Copies of this chain bind each other. A is one copy, B any other.
Amino acid sequence: MTYAVGLLLDAGIVFASDTRTNAGVDHVSTFKKMTVFEVPGERVIVLMGSGNLAITQSAVSQLHAWNQAAPKTAVAKSRANRAISRAGSMFEAARIVGAALREVHALDGEHLKAHGADFNAMFILGGQIGDEAPRLFQIYAAGNFIEAGKDTPYFQIGETKYGKPIIDRIVRPDTSLTVAAKCTLISFDSTMRSNVSVAMPLDVLIYERDSLKVGHYRRIPRNDPYMTAISEGWSKGILAAFEALPDPDWPVAPSESARKPARRRR
């Protein structure tokens, strides 16, 4: 499986993705699922994929191919419209990613169906182009997409459930990049604890608004000291928070209620 998350904040965007892929439990590998299109001073565009790796890789390869096609010949000129590094806006970039997925679907869709496989793919796309504000999109297998806003300033793809509650509790548009990055790692810690098909190393990229360059990219390896420290600290904090909660004052069972009279009965 995969877990990837993008958080759109007033201060910029935090991206993170794991690297585990598996085709059955006996075929587990490590693949980078984060692709960066950067033109310093002009644009930073980050793409993270989940689903069938053959589909998402093909779509990314298609994006690179369109990007590299020099706009010289007539054919190349029409294709140049699909160069993500020349897209005029993030909306246009999202359409280009959708077009890449549709290109893969046109080539592979029927064949996957013939083998009983779904056309299963999803992307998170975020970044900033020129004067436009940073934007974040979630792109579906059909090539259509939704955009994050103030109400829901983040997208998750892949194994989303275990890591969602902590993001819902912590992240607001005005959360700092540092706190958002920490929250993202806790979200991954929760996910990796409960689903072995999401695993280290992680790729984390922090984009600061209006910087128009990659502020910080880090591959967090297995046994990274900071990740280990917050994972252990989080475990201890959760247990302490649980223990601090009052016990129910129900007469839980006859003998327990006899030993410890209920303070309050309802």
Contacts and interface: CB of A to CB of B under 8 A. Distances in A.
Given A162-B165, A208-B254, A216-B251, A241 B244 contact: no
Interface stretch (A53-61, A63-71, A91-99, A166-174): A166-174
Nearest to A170: B242
A222 interface: no
Given A166-B242, A186-B242, A215-B254, 7 more contacts: A162-B165, A176-B256, A181-B248, A185-B248, A206-B252, A215-B252, A226-B249
Copies, count: 2
Contact of A253 (B190, B206, B256): B206
B241 A240 contact: yes
30 contacts: A161-B161, A162-B164, A165-B190, A166-B242, A168-B194, A169-B238, A177-B252, A178-B248, A179-B247, A181-B248, A181-B250, A185-B248, A186-B242, A206-B250, A207-B253, A208-B252, A216-B251, A216-B252, A216-B253, A226-B246, A226-B249, A230-B246, A233-B244, A234-B242, A234-B245, A237-B240, A237-B242, A237-B245, A238-B238, A240-B241
Given A166-B242, A233-B246, A237-B245, A215 B178 contact: no
Contacts of A255: 208, 211
The bracket for how many chain A residues form the interface is 35 or more
For A176, A178, A193, which residue has the most chain B Cβ atoms within 10 angstroms? A178
Binding site of A, secondary structure by majority: helix, strand, loop or mixed? helix
A166 to B, nearest CB: 7
